[in-house]
Amino acid sequence: MPATSDYIAATPQAGFYQQLYKLPPFLRRYFESQYGDIYGQYLGQLDQPYPQSFTGMLTPEYFKQRYYGTAPRQRGYYQSSYAPPTRFLPSF
């Protein structure tokens, strides 16, 4: 049986979920369904002169930057749940 590090290097999805385990719960929930997008981004950067490994790219800072770089609605925050719409009536 191969060593754990060999398995993670050979199986990108295992490395992805291993890195998710190190994140706070709210980030983990957000990124659980993002594997395809993130792996596609990694494959897109392979043509650079010195590409890094997939698990090397997945630092906690990478996840935080990607999370906070999205719009609040994409993260599941909706203003209407905190501040309901108001209605202004004309004064006569």
pLDDT along the chain (92 residues), means of 10: 73 91 91 94 89 89 92 76 68 71
pTM, rounded to two decimals: 0.74
- How much is the pLDDT for 74? 83
Which residue type is seen at 76?
A: G
Provide the residue ranges of all domains of the chain, joining segments of one domain with +: 4-73
Among all chains, which residue has been given the structure tokens 């981004």? 41
- How much is the pLDDT for 55? 87
- How much is the pLDDT for 24? 92
